Structures are given as C-alpha cells and as structure tokens.
C-alpha cells in the first residue's frame, strides 16, 4: 500500500482544468477570480465581507494588525499551530495562554475568570480545534459582557456548525480566518481568507493586503501630489497611506478555490463518514479513545485519538515509528505553543495548563482526508490496534 499521510488534498480533472483556463487568460493575479472566490466564501459562510490572501498566517497577521494595538492582552489557546499566537506577537500584543478542555478547545469558562480579574484584556483568539466548534453562546456572552474583540481561527473548521451558526460567519466575533493549505477542507495550494461583518475592518484589510496603497480618487489624501496644474488627476497616481504588505493571492489559486468550494460539502460529508467509522472501529478498544465521540457539528479537519501510554510498554514516539514502517503517517496536533523554545525566550512556558500537558502526552491524529479509501482506513485501524494490543503491559 502506498504512503497514507495524516492529511492531503483531493484534486480532480475539473480542478486542474479550472487552473489551466486562468493560466491561459490575461490575468494571473488580482483578476476576476479573486473577487469571485471572495463572493463564494461569503455565500458559503454567511459573512458579509471576505478578503482572500496568500495564506492563513497572512490572514491572521492582517486581522491582528486591524484590531490589536501594542501591548494589548489576548487570551488564546496553547493547542494550535504556532501561527495563531504568532499573529498576536506580530501586532506587538501579548498572548496569554489559557488551558484547554478535554475536547481540545480553549476553556471559555477559564477565559471568563481571566476577564473578570483583568479588565484590560482586549481579545480572545479561539480556534475551533479539529473542526469541533467552540460554544457560540458562550462566545456571544463573553463578547457582550466584557466588550472584547473575538477572532475565530477557523483554519480547522470550515463547514462546522454550532446551533445553526456556521464557522466563519462571524455571528459572534469580529473576524474569522481560514486556511486553504492542502491538508485543510479545501485547497488553493497556499491560501487563506479573512471574513468579517464590519465594513471598516474590511476596508482596512483590503488596504493592508496591498501595501497600504490607495488608488481611488475619493480617498486620496495628498491633493497637491494627486492633481496637475489644471486640476486633473495624474493618471499614474497612487498613494501609500499606511504600512501594508503584499499578501495577495493569485487568480489561478482562486480558480482552484472556486472549483474546490463546489465540492466542499461532499468533502466534509466524507470526512464525517471516516470519523464515524473510526469511532465504530475503536468503540470496544481498551487503549484508544477518540478525542470526542462522533459529533455531526464538527467538520473533522482532524481525527484525534488519545492513548494512555503510561499503561503500555510502548511510547508515543515508538508508535509513530512503527506506523511509519507500515507507511502510515501519524501527526501530533499540537506541541503546546507556550512551550516552544522561542516562546520560552519571551518568558512563557510555565503556565498552569494541566489538561493541555496531559493531552500532549496522550493525543495524536490518525489519517483523514476526503479521498481516503475504505481499505486504507481499515489498514490504519488494524495497524494501530495491533501495535497497541501487543504493547499491553502484563500485570
């Protein structure tokens, strides 16, 4: 059997065709496909505005610059890819790492304790970890009660729903970010987006995406530079009003995104089928516990299981190696961000996060992607179950 990774893209002929058409067209970047893709993402998520960018990290960076100021305090999770909290640092703000709950998500009740004790906390950066949505009612309550900014990192959760509220709709948040990296629900190669319902944030993001440059006449600031002596606008004129970036996404990436978004619901349906089959396969297994039991609201970017290695003769690293020998890629989501060497140099690492610490010892992700075949999944189930069975300690 060929290598089974923990995640990968599903690209078909029509996706390739969509990209080829753009490659043959006049626009490779900033053409019509970008706006079409943004519109499709608004329609899918229900958010009013969308800005597509080069990747999810760029989306986080711009969102953080749009709403945070230097030294702002931000509650966030240690259980995410480093990009989530890095973006807080990019804005000169200060992450505060809050412990997670047993389902892998940031503990919003604990967040409330922090908010009660420190009125200067500006924001919560929450991740719907693995596709499992955060409690939207609680997010709404915290936002209204403590007047905080909320960013939803939806890199794992496109297509997830909580009480009818779709991920990235920003129903109870200021903005959401998405990633279209190949392992995510749909891909544009690299790619990302920010969604929001706030027009001012939207305009700010558009400017930051493209160097802080303004071209439209009604927003020009320097009339002297802009007009000639006959008061005609100089045809070449553009002006830079703030320090922005080149975080544009290309037209051919957006063409791929438009082709993929048509299949998104079927991709998510397949992910849910795979999750259910894993749950069924491990129901009576004494060593393997799913992170949470099958939940149709999750869009299952990841299928995470927990194993108490203390009770076994094998370590987690040994299991990873043995599975790799069978051509199966496991992955760990995530090493606690606050314990990363760089974060330790900033003084992080000794937070009281017992649930995250235990999670780190026990959890790992099994392969899960829409094009995964049933026999590949069976092979993964049998392999992991057999290895752990042999590792049972004799009492």
Ligand X SMILES: Cc1ncc(COP(=O)(O)O)c(C=O)c1O
Give me the least distance between CB of 62 and ligand X, in Å please: 12
Distance CA 333, CA 364 (A): 6
Size of the site for ligand X (CB under 6 A): 14
93 binds ligand X (CB under 6 A): no
Give me the least distance between CB of 82 and ligand X, in Å please: 9
Distance CA 353, CA 261 (A): 37
Distance CA 88, CA 84 (A): 7
Span of 152-160, 198-206, 219-227, 317-325 interacting with ligand X by CB under 6 A: 152-160
Provide the β-strand partners of residue 49: 196
Which of 64, 80, 188, 253 touches ligand X (CB under 6 A)? 80
153 binds ligand X (CB under 6 A): yes
Give me the least distance between CB of 182 and ligand X, in Å please: 9
Question: Tokens 């899918």 identify what position?
Answer: 44
DSSP letters, 189-252, are: SS-EEEEES-HHHHHHHHHHHBTTEE--GGG---HHHHB-TTSPBPTT--EE-S---B---BHH
Distance CA 116, CA 136 (A): 19
Q: For residues 256 and 381, which CB has a smaller minimum distance to ligand X in the complex?
A: 256
Q: For residues 56 and 290, which CB has a smaller minimum distance to ligand X in the complex?
A: 56
Q: For residues 33 and 128, which CB has a smaller minimum distance to ligand X in the complex?
A: 128
End-to-end CA distance of the chain: 36
Q: For residues 5 and 32, which CB has a smaller minimum distance to ligand X in the complex?
A: 5
Which of 155, 158, 307, 388 touches ligand X (CB under 6 A)? 155
Residues 38-77 binding ligand X (CB under 6 A) are 55-57
Which helix or strand (DSSP H or E) is residue 306 part of? strand 303-307
Q: For residues 31 and 182, which CB has a smaller minimum distance to ligand X in the complex?
A: 182
Which of 9, 76, 132, 179 touches ligand X (CB under 6 A)? 179
Rg (CA), the chain: 23
Which helix or strand (DSSP H or E) is residue 354 part of? helix 354-362
Which of 45, 64, 79, 84 touches ligand X (CB under 6 A)? 84
Give me the least distance between CB of 380 and ligand X, in Å please: 21
Which of 18, 115, 124, 127 touches ligand X (CB under 6 A)? 127
Residue with nearest beta carbon to ligand X? 56
φ/ψ of residue 75, rounded to 5: -80, 130
Q: Which residues bind ligand X (CB under 6 A)?
A: 55-57, 80-81, 83-84, 127, 153, 155-156, 179, 181, 192
């Amino acid at each position: 059997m060929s290598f089974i990774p923990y995640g990968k893209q599903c690209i078909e002929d029509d996706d390739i065709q969509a990209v080829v058409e753009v490659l043959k067209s006049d626009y490779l970047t900033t053409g019509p496909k970008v706006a079409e893709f943004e519109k499709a993402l608004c329609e899918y998520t229900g958010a009013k505005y969308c800005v597509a960018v080069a990747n999810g990290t760029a989306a986080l960076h711009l969102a953080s610059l749009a709403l945070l100021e230097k030294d702002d305090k931000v509650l966030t999770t240690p259980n995410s890819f480093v990009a989530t909290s890095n973006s807080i640092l990019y804005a000169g703000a200060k992450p505060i790492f809050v412990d997670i709950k047993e389902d892998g998500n940031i503990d919003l009740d604990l967040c409330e304790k922090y908010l009660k004790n420190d009125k200067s906390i500006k924001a919560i950066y929450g991740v719907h970890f693995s596709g499992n949505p955060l409690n939207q009612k609680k997010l709404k309550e915290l936002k209204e009660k403590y007047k905080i900014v909320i960013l939803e990192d939806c890199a794992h959760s496109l297509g997830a729903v909580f009480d009818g509220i779709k991920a990235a709709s920003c129903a109870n948040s200021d903005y959401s970010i998405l990633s279209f990296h190949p392992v995510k629900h749909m891909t544009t190669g690299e790619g990302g987006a920010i969604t929001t319902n706030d027009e001012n944030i939207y305009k700010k993001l558009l400017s930051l995406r493209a160097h802080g440059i303004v071209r439209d006449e009604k927003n020009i600031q320097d009339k002297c530079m802009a007009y000639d002596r006959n008061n005609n606008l100089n045809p070449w004129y553009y002006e830079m009003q703030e320090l922005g970036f080149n975080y544009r996404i290309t037209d051919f990436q957006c063409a791929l995104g438009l082709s993929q978004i048509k299949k998104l619901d079927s991709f998510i349906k397949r992910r849910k089928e795979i999750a259910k089959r894993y749950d069924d396969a491990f129901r009576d297994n004494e060593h393997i516990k799913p992170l949470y039991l099958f939940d149709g609201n999750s869009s299952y970017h990841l299928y995470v299981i927990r194993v108490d290695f203390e009770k076994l003769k094998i370590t987690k690293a040994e299991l990873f190696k043995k599975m790799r020998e069978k051509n199966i890629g496991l992955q760990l989501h995530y090493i606690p961000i606050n314990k990363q060497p760089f974060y330790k140099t900033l003084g992080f690492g000794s937070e009281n996060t017992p649930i995250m610490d235990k999670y780190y010892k026990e959890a790992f992700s099994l392969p899960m992607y829409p094009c995964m075949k049933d026999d590949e999944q069976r092979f993964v189930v049998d392999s992991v179950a057999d290895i752990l069975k042999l590792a049972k300690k004799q009492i």
